[in-house]
A and B are shown apart, each in its own frame.
Chain A
Amino acid sequence: MSKPNPTDRLYSRDHEWVKDNGDGTAIIGITDHAQEMLTDIVFVELPEIGKKVAKSDPVAAVESVKSVSDVYAPVGGEIIDVNKKLEESPELINQDAFGEGWIVKMRLADAGELKTLLSAADYEQLVKEEKH
């Protein structure tokens, strides 16, 4: 069973979460449901700090033994930090997708884009529908 989706953040249809820091920046990761589907994560390809991405651009890649999945930027902006710990310990995403397993921190280009994302409840509904 996946861990519950925290209500302090927003979700994309591609299974990313966004936590708005309220100061024009946000933290981004993938959901616990996503890490479950990916199975054991063996490598995370992180972007360079300073890179600018538009909404839906690939921002990182998450690899398991037999698959590679792009992580798409749920909102546009500039990468201002990456979770360096993932380089040595990609399993942090498996262990704690909503916390220690965060992937990038962004400065938002347009905070309005947050409005296009899903609430925790809407996201849970989406996951349920995908299962059927």
Chain B
Amino acid sequence: MDYYPHTPDDIAQMQSVVGIASIDELFADIPQKFRLKSVLDIPAALSEQETIAAMSGIASKNKLPQLTLTGAGAYYHFIPAVVGHIVGRAEFYTAYTPYQAEISQGILQAIYEYQTMIAHLTGTEIANASMYDGASAMAEAAVLCAKMSNRTKIIVARSMHPEYRQVVNTYSWANGYTVVEIPYAPSGQIDLNALQNELDDQVAAVLVQSPNFFGVIEDIVPLTDAAHNKGALLVAGFTDGTSLGILQPAGASGADFVVGEGQSFGNPLNYGGPYLGIFAAREKFMRRIPGRLVGATVDKNGKRGFVLTLQTREQHIRREKATSNICSNEALCALAAGVYLAALGKNLRKLAELNIYKTQYLKNKLLQLKGWKEVFSAPVYNEFVLRCPDARLANEKLKNEGIIGGYELHKDYPELENALLFCATEMVSKDDMDKVVAILK
């Protein structure tokens, strides 16, 4: 199947307008020696029917689990039907970036509404139109803090998602910054004393996550105070966005930036992407933050309308002096997030409560198993860490029943041998959890 509508007659007529005798003449600028002589070595064309068969065949090689008890940065949540119907409208998904505001009011207004919802949820004053994902949003925030302060040291909580830390390391290396990791306390929260010892006048930013990778809720206020005392900025992330439906957001506890993964808001797991990076900040950073921003304004008749604004921050104007090189956002994922949040409204709190109920139930059930113990003492949202006699064996047993078990923390934390990170969202039923416990008995 192909998608070019040219008939042989069209081609002949167009060639004569262009003044060429053969299509080959159009490629005369490519030196002859580099001209590809053979056909590309990729499979032959398929009809639409064959394409669907081939793709279904590949998809069926994946084994979908009966049940997923892993979160660890990507969360299995129910997605209301309205979300798919709205993001499936071709007026949205076949559009480019809304550079021509007059014919892009739809996506512009939807993003403005998204920015408003995100700023409120995160307890900040402003949010951008989205970044690539939570991890790169975290790294971009770190780079921004360093650039604004002319400082070169970045402090990262070891309790932050390991992949986020790795991305922060990569971006920091590229910019010549030093990254220092702060251990976690027995509570599972960041070790405040260790943080205070490490803070000096070279620290640009302190990066934490709450809930952190262990599901543990951090106490943001003392972290903000500690950072600000040394002139550093506090960047607070989160794991599952639905936690913002019930937890005090870091922005309300004085964080300078709140960044994190927005996938939980109406975006499928999709084996890791596309997701969306949430990026929210205090108002004073508005002219410095990376990414696109939609602003409200009026047309020449005084009618309200929306435009991409403060574009002088961005690479297409400021070029090498731009804060970031980011161009694309994840507009369609942000649209999904906006629709999801508008659909739930105040029910987001109910949903968060339900996640807490399920989590507490699963945790208490598993703790009844012989040799299973809690690892951290601080409160959690919808993830928790348990140490068990044999984590690999436990997961193997669950896998045999089609269940993805807990995330094996020893992969990133050698000190957490046999510790599993479990997640229970609203998608996990009581029967499921009882079954899990029965399998592990």
Contact = CB atoms under 8 A, between A and B. Distances in A.
A67 B287 contact: no
Interface in B299-347: 311-312, 317-318, 321
A66 B287 contact: no
Interface of A: 43, 45, 63-68
16 contacts: A43-B287, A43-B312, A45-B287, A63-B312, A64-B312, A65-B311, A65-B312, A66-B311, A66-B312, A66-B317, A67-B312, A67-B317, A68-B312, A68-B317, A68-B318, A68-B321
Interface bracket on B: under 10
B231 to A, nearest CB: 14
Given A43-B287, A65-B312, A66-B311, 13 more contacts: A43-B312, A45-B287, A63-B312, A64-B312, A65-B311, A66-B312, A66-B317, A67-B312, A67-B317, A68-B312, A68-B317, A68-B318, A68-B321
A67 B312 CA distance: 6
Contacts, number: 16
A64 B287 CA distance: 13
Contacts of B317: 66-68
Interface of B: 287, 311-312, 317-318, 321
A43 B311 CA distance: 12
Contacts of B321: 68
A65 B313 CA distance: 10
A67 B311 CA distance: 9
A60 B84 CA distance: 48
B335 to A, nearest CB: 26
A113 to B, nearest CB: 26
Contacts of A65: 311-312
**10 A-B pairs with the lowest CB-CB distances in the bound complex, closest first:** A63-B312, A68-B312, A68-B318, A68-B317, A66-B317, A67-B317, A43-B287, A66-B311, A67-B312, A65-B311
Nearest to A42: B312
Contacts of A43: 287, 312
Contacts of B312: 43, 63-68
B290 to A, nearest CB: 15
A72 to B, nearest CB: 15
Nearest to B309: A65
A64 B321 CA distance: 16
A64 B312 CA distance: 8
The winner among A64, A66, A67, A68 for most chain B CB atoms within 10 A is A68
Contacts of A66: 311-312, 317
Contacts of A67: 312, 317
A63 B287 CA distance: 11
A43 B318 CA distance: 14
A40 to B, nearest CB: 12
Contacts of B318: 68
A66 B313 CA distance: 10
Nearest to B322: A68
A63 B286 CA distance: 14
Contacts of A45: 287
A64 B318 CA distance: 12
Contacts of A63: 312
A66 B318 CA distance: 9
A43 B286 CA distance: 12
Contacts of B311: 65-66
Nearest to A69: B312
B98 to A, nearest CB: 15
A45 B323 CA distance: 15
A1 B164 CA distance: 55
A45 B318 CA distance: 14
B287 to A, nearest CB: 7
A117 B321 CA distance: 28
Nearest to A43: B287
Contacts of B287: 43, 45
A43 B310 CA distance: 9
A63 B311 CA distance: 10
A68 to B, nearest CB: 5
Nearest to B316: A66
A127 to B, nearest CB: 25
A66 B311 CA distance: 7
Nearest to B287: A43
Contacts of A64: 312
A123 to B, nearest CB: 27
A28 B161 CA distance: 50
A22 B311 CA distance: 41
A64 to B, nearest CB: 8
